Structure 1
Amino acid sequence: QTISIAKAGITTVLNSRTSVLAAANPPSGRYDDLKTAQDNIDLQTTILSRFDLIFIVKDIREYDQDKKIASHIIKVHASGAAASKSTNATEGENWLKRYIEYCRVTCHPQLSEKAAEMLQNKYVEIRQRMRQQANETGKAAAVPITVRQLEAIIRLSESLAKMRLTCVATQEHVEEAFRLFNVSTMDAARSGINEHLNLTPEIAQAEAQIKRRMGIGS
């Protein structure tokens, strides 16, 4: 993974040796289902294309879900306070961290021929589908599908194989990588309404009145 920099007369390519986890809010503060993905995300495509997975997390007001979230947050704070009082941590508490480090150091999987062929076919299929959608709507998707996304799916496939300490990334790993890509980045690109829908004046007026009376996301 590399990052291209062109600032202050300096043009170079630097290695990216770390993973980046970023979060951002929509321009209106809440995700508006009546807007397109481009309006809700409001980030340049050059920035979005650098992320392997893009998830849209909505704050849906549901009693059961709110109760689970509140319970989880309370437990996290309670366990954190208890852990801070204890100075002797057992080795079993960090087993997951040690396992991830072991996988990272000892396993370096490569794509098999069948997995590479499947990866190529699925990537071309997604590109054709996105091109067809752009031709029908007259506007490009909020999240572009480029070679960077292909590299992202390759990294996901190899990471899935690495988690199982497998030296070869198989078709199963590619399938799971595409599943993750579809439920994250592709869903983000397809989210929101189609702005090219022809709304009657009555519907547009009703929509404006509803927006004035109700908070976005309620």
Structure 2
Amino acid sequence: EMTDITEISKMPDLFDKISKSIAPSIMGHEDIKKAIAAQLFGGARKHLPDGMRIRGDINVLLLGDPSLGKSQFLKYAKEVAPVCVYTSGKGSSAAGLTASVIRDPSSGGFNLEGGALVLADGGIVCIDEFDKMREEDRIAIHEAMEQQTISIAKAGITTILNSRTSVLAAANPIFGRYDDMKSPVENIDFQMTILSRFDLIFVLRDTIRAEHDQNLAKHIISVHQGKAADARAMANVIDAERLKTYIAYSRAHCDPRLSESAVKMLKEEYVAIRSTIRKRRNAKKEEKDWTPEAIPITVRQLEAIVRLSEALARLELQPVANEEHVRRAIRLFKVSTFQAATLGYMEGKKGSGSFHQEVMKVEKQLQARVAIGTQKSVKAILGEFVHRQEYREDTVRRAVQNMVQRGEFIYQQRQHQVKRLK
């Protein structure tokens, strides 16, 4: 086994070879495969002299249209990760993800049962349908994703559980698939607080490209015919069992740190990325309805690049992350999170400040004006609030959407009309 691990570590272009071994039956998406490869190895966990811990685990979010293979990536990660728990956001509660207190029927006492994030300590949690989770359940995993602990204070039990795990999540846009008529912020249903905890965020779009569609159709048909295992292609793939063993060994025996030259390069690149975002924000100040917002690239994203660099060094069993590792990590960051921030996805759902207050005002007025069991067109609602009361359109649409999610409204006639249910 040790000979096999040494043999893998000495392979030329190892990073490319391992990334191609991630879900090899899925065509394309090379950058996502590289991100998942880095996530499987993870960065170095650090314990500071003051007792603080800095996580080394990498969190990845795949956000995009359906039928692009997001769930397949999660399933494959489950196969090759040494420790992994797979769950669906639709059927997951806060207690199921973190921990719950269960009464023992025989003794009458209380027992503490760990959820998915506790059971996957030292591995990966794959959460499919992440957008289908309730907001309060998503908030429950904030501590687990950043601090990597879960604090419990229930039924007289007060304790802290470890959840040193990576999160690989897949989600669809708020309307099922991306709506080009709406802004990026209107297409997603996540708060900035949860988005900032993901090191890499990939936005996947199902665009129409004739040549790509032709190649994809050919590939899928080949898979169904059992011809996908092309001898030349499979020769460059490391099988799942070997990869699983290699990942387990590297995580246990390799703890890389950044070199001095890599630190200097990383510092300069972080300042440059922040400057680019700031220039874009300054350009938007000229717009009529501009409102000041925080820059979405923070120190968390700098730490994300550090973790990625260390993961790429660990992947090669290298004790030091050099400039080449940092360069690859920055490229991965730029094609994912930085691109998402540039397009406006990292602004997240507005959940605080004046916007949130305005949304709540509109919701209260809708509850008072639309009786239970009655219907009203979305156009009429917009006309009433936007033209007569001078609310912003995105404020009114967000209020309607919030009420739909809570089950107070239901869309009818292709979302042109709403009906009050409760």
> Is 1:24–2:177 an aligned residue pair?
no
| Correspondence 1:131-142 to 2 at 5 A | 131-137=278-284, 138-140=291-293
Any conservation in 1 of the 2:150–2:161 contact (CA below 8 Å)? yes
Distance 1:22 1:51, change over 3 A: same
Residue 145 of structure 1 and its aligned partner are, at CA, apart by 0.9
Question: Paired residue for 2:253?
Answer: 106
Question: Paired residue for 1:55?
Answer: 202
Distance 2:271 2:298 in 1: 10
Residue 72 of structure 1 and its aligned partner are, at CA, apart by 5.2
Question: Paired residue for 2:184?
Answer: 37
| Structure 2 unpaired stretches of 5+ | 1-54, 56-146, 227-237, 285-290, 345-422
| Correspondence 1:111-130 to 2 at 5 A | 111-130=258-277
> Is 1:156–2:303 an aligned residue pair?
no
Residue 7 of structure 1 and its aligned partner are, at CA, apart by 9.2
Distance 1:149 1:106, change over 3 A: same
Residue 28 of structure 1 and its aligned partner are, at CA, apart by 2.1
Query: Which shifted more, 100-109 or 160-169?
Result: 100-109
Distance 1:7 1:148 in 2: 25
> Is 1:177–2:324 an aligned residue pair?
no
- What is the identity, as a one-letter code, of the residue corresponding to 1:41? I
TM-score by length of 1: 0.68
Any conservation in 1 of the 2:148–2:165 contact (CA below 8 Å)? no
Structure 1 SS opposite 2:169: coil
User: Which one has more relative contact order, counting CA pairs under 8 Å at least 6 apart?
Assistant: 1
Aligned alpha-carbon RMSD (Å): 3.3
- What is the identity, as a one-letter code, of the residue corresponding to 2:343? S
Residue 6 of structure 1 and its aligned partner are, at CA, apart by 8.6
Distance 1:28 1:132 in 2: 31
Residue 78 of structure 1 and its aligned partner are, at CA, apart by 7.7
Distance 1:140 1:14 in 2: 35
Any conservation in 2 of the 1:153–1:181 contact (CA below 8 Å)? yes
Q: Deviations over 1:58-96 (max 9, x none)?
A: 1223455445545655666787xxxxxxxxxxx965111
Distance 1:37 1:163 in 2: 34
Distance 2:283 2:302 in 1: 24
Residue 8 of structure 1 and its aligned partner are, at CA, apart by 8.2
Distance 1:110 1:38 in 2: 37
Distance 2:244 2:222 in 1: 21
Any conservation in 2 of the 1:3–1:13 contact (CA below 8 Å)? no
- In terms of fraction of residues, the more helix-rich structure is 1
Distance 1:93 1:129, change over 3 A: closer
- Count how many residue pairs are aligned between Structure 1 and Structure 2: 182
Any conservation in 2 of the 1:37–1:188 contact (CA below 8 Å)? no
Structure 2 SS opposite 1:159: helix
Residue 164 of structure 1 and its aligned partner are, at CA, apart by 1.0
Any conservation in 2 of the 1:112–1:168 contact (CA below 8 Å)? yes
Structure 2 SS opposite 1:172: helix
Distance 1:124 1:146, change over 3 A: same
Which among 308, 312, 317 is matched to residue 165 of structure 1? 317
TM-score by length of 2: 0.38
Higher Cα Rg: structure 1 or 2? 2
Any conservation in 2 of the 1:157–1:176 contact (CA below 8 Å)? yes
Question: Paired residue for 1:196?
Answer: none
- What is the identity, as a one-letter code, of the residue corresponding to 1:155? R
Structure 1 SS opposite 2:165: coil
Distance 2:163 2:321 in 1: 23
Distance 1:76 1:139, change over 3 A: farther
Residue 40 of structure 1 and its aligned partner are, at CA, apart by 2.1
Residue 147 of structure 1 and its aligned partner are, at CA, apart by 1.2
- In terms of fraction of residues, the more strand-rich structure is 2
| Structure 1 unpaired stretches of 5+ | 80-90, 193-218
- What is the identity, as a one-letter code, of the residue corresponding to 2:301? Q
Question: Paired residue for 1:145?
Answer: 297
- What is the identity, as a one-letter code, of the residue corresponding to 2:166? S
Query: Which shifted more, 174-183 or 59-68?
Result: 59-68
